[in-house]
Amino acid sequence: MEAQYILAVLGLVWVTRWVVKVALDVVAALRKFLWARLTKDNLAVKYGGKWAVVTGCTHGIGKEYARQLAKRGMNILLIARNYDKLDDIQNLIKKESPEVETETVQVDFSFGRMIYPEIARYLADKDVGILVNNVGVITSHPMHFVEVGEDEAWNHINVNMASMVAMTQLVLPGMVARGRGAIINLASVASSQPVPYLGLYSATKVFVDFFSESLRWELRGSGVTVQTIRPGYVTTNMTQYSKFVSEPSTFVPNPERFVASALPTLGHAGRTTGYWAHGLQMFVTDEMFSREGRMFLFDVWNKLLRKEAIKED
C-alpha cells in the first residue's frame, strides 16, 4: 500500500506540474498573440530611431516586415542583392506609405566581410531604431549533405550567420548609446533540434537562436530589445520545392499573415514562433516526442519532400 501511495502522489505531482505548465503556456500565448495585437506603440519613439533596416527584403517575410514597419511610420533602409526587386519594393512602399522615407542598398550577403563597409556608409547618418536580420538561404530542397555544393555551404555560413553578427555590430553601439532599440533575428523552428536532410540550414539557425538569446541576456537593462523569431513553414521562395509546404493553409501562412502576427509581439515576447499555429505545432511535438523522436519524424518527412522534389525535377 505504501508503494502505491507513493506512486499516486508522484503521479499527482506530475499531472499538476503538466497542467500548470500548459496553463502558463496558454497565458503566454494569449499575451503574445492577442494582447500584443491590441496595442499599437509608436515604434520610432519606443525604439529611439526613425529608421528600420531590413535585410533580405525583396520577397517573403523580409518584404512584409519592410511593408508593415513602413505602415507603422518607420523609414525603411532596404538591403538585398537584386537591384530590380529592390526598386520594386521601394516603389511599393512609396505607394502604400508615401509619408515615409526609403533608401536601398544593393549588396550580396554571400560575399561575406567585404560588403559591410558599404552598408556602414549608408547607416552613418541614420538613427536606427529597428534592425530586422531576415536574409537567409536554404538548399533547393531537403537533401543529403554530400549533395550540397561548396558554394552553397559557404552561402549558408555567410548569409544565415555572418550577416546577423555583422549587421548587429554595425547598429548595436548606437542603440546602446541611446538606451533604446530593437533587433529582430529570424531563426526557424528547425533550430529546435537537428533536422536530417536540412542539417546545414538547421545548424545555422541554431547559431541565430543561441546568439540572439545570449545577446538578449547581456543587454538586460540597457533599453535594447532583442527578439528571436522561430517560424515554421511560410509560403515563401524557400518552400516552393513542395506543394505540401508552399500552399497557404492554417499551419502554412502567407508572409503577410505571418508578419501581421509576428510584428506585434515585438516587446512582448523575447523568443517566439511569431504565429499561433506554429507555436501550437512546436508545443505538441515537444510535449509528445523526445529529441530523437522529433529527428525521426523530420527524417521521414524530409525524405518524402526530397523524393517529391527530385521527381518534379
Q: What crossing angle do the helices spanning 255-262 and 60-71 adopt, rounded to 10°?
A: 50
* DSSP H helices in the chain: 2-30, 36-38, 43-46, 60-71, 83-96, 116-123, 150-155, 163-178, 199-218, 255-262, 276-288, 291-312
Bridge-based pairing state of the strands 271-272 and 224-229: parallel
Cell representation of residue 270: 523575447
Q: What are phi and psi of 106, to 5 degrees?
A: -95, 105
Quick check: is 233 catalytic?
no
Catalytic pick among 197, 201, 241, 275: 201
Least Cα distance to 65 among 120, 114, 118, 136 occurs for 136
Active site residues: 201
